[in-house]
Structure formats: C-alpha cells, structure tokens
Amino acid sequence: MKFFQPAYTDDCWLGKATEYTVREGYDWLRSSSPSVSWWRLCWNSMNIPKSSFIYWVFMLKRLLTKDRLVRMGGGTDVTCDLCQTANESHEHLFFDCYFSNRCSILLQQKLGFQINPSALIDWNRRGRRKSILMRRVTTACYVQLVYMIWQERNRARIHSQVTHPVAVVRQVIKAVHTRFQMRNKSKLTKEEEAWIMQMTR
C-alpha cells in the first residue's frame, strides 16, 4: 500500500469521499496523456492489424529510417533505396520520394478522390459528404499504403528489389477489399456498390 500513499489515505481516494476503485487506481498509475486526432485512422475497423501498428509508429515518427539509424550510430549511408536520388528520412519516404508519391497518385486514381496523404486527418474530417463506409475504406487504403511502402523500403534495402508502384497499389486494394468483405455487415447503397466495383476493377 506504500506505493499508493500519495493518492490513497484513510480509505479515501484522491481526497474524495468515495472508496478506491481499480479503474481509478489504474488511470492514476498510468497518468493521463493528451488525446491525438489520428487515432480513428489508426484503429479503423477496416485496417489490417499489422498495418495499424506500422501506421501508429509512422504517426509517432518512430520508424527506423536511415537518418535516424545514422543518428543512433547504426551506419553512414542515408541514400533512399527506393529512388536513389535523396537522403532517406521520414518526410522523404512519406511522400516526397518519387516511388511513394507515385503510389499515392495511383491510389487516388483508383479511389476517385484527390487526397493529400499528409493531410489525411483533415480530409477524413472534411469528407462528410462521403459515407462513413467510403471514408473508412479510403483511410484503410492509405494506412495499408504506408505499410506497403515500409515493406518495399525494407525489401529494397535487403534484396535490392523494388515492386512496381502499379503492383503495390493493386496489393493495397486487394488487402483492404478482403478485409472489407470480412468486416462489413451493413447493406451497401448503390453509390457504395458502384464505388467498390470501380476501386477493385
């Protein structure tokens, strides 16, 4: 009980007249943290869990890009393996690199939406004219794209091979469409059906 002394004394919790509860104790122990605006994109039900994890690390800017590895003493080469024209950094890889930028443009053509991938949160907020399902699928595609770009970056670094952007976008659409078929239980409108068909064509 010594551990809880600053908050819990004389059967009172944090100076309240109420008794201690496990939930309040856990919240106090872990401390509060500010809410972030991108959590809905990251933990969208249409996302594949492994993609959500990479997107979470991506949003925190904690992916081990070459510039970070160099700062940590893990090498000297910082050249981007995907384009070979610039130094690899978080900002370059997502989406200044020619490869990732091309993937983003091709994905936008498939979705039929003009989206700045760096402003996906704002697009999701502003795109209220689109149905909830369309917004969820669209954001899931971008979360999957971030995952695929990171996979391609690792493939290029280890095997010196890069998949064509058209094939990458095809894999993104296929993965999200499969997840959509597994998770979606609601009846589609005619607009949604036409959009899904156009996207997967």
pLDDT digits (tens, 9 = 90+) for 117-159: 888 888 877 766 678 899 999 999 999 999 999 999 999 999 9
Q: For 125, how many CA atoms within 13 A lie in the half-sphere containing its CB? A: 7
**Do 28 and 101 lie in a common domain?**
no
**Do 21 and 97 lie in a common domain?**
no
| Residue 54 contacts residue 64 (beta carbons within 8 Å) | no
Domain that holds residue 169: 39-200
| pLDDT beneath 50: ranges in the chain | 1-2
**Do 47 and 26 lie in a common domain?**
no
**Do 85 and 163 lie in a common domain?**
yes
In this prediction, residue 1 carries a pLDDT of 47
**Do 11 and 44 lie in a common domain?**
no
In this prediction, residue 23 carries a pLDDT of 80
**Do 68 and 104 lie in a common domain?**
yes
pTM score: 0.83
Would you state the structure tokens that stand for residue 24, as one six-digit string?
A: 């309040």
Average pLDDT, the chain: 87
In this prediction, residue 10 carries a pLDDT of 58
In this prediction, residue 11 carries a pLDDT of 58
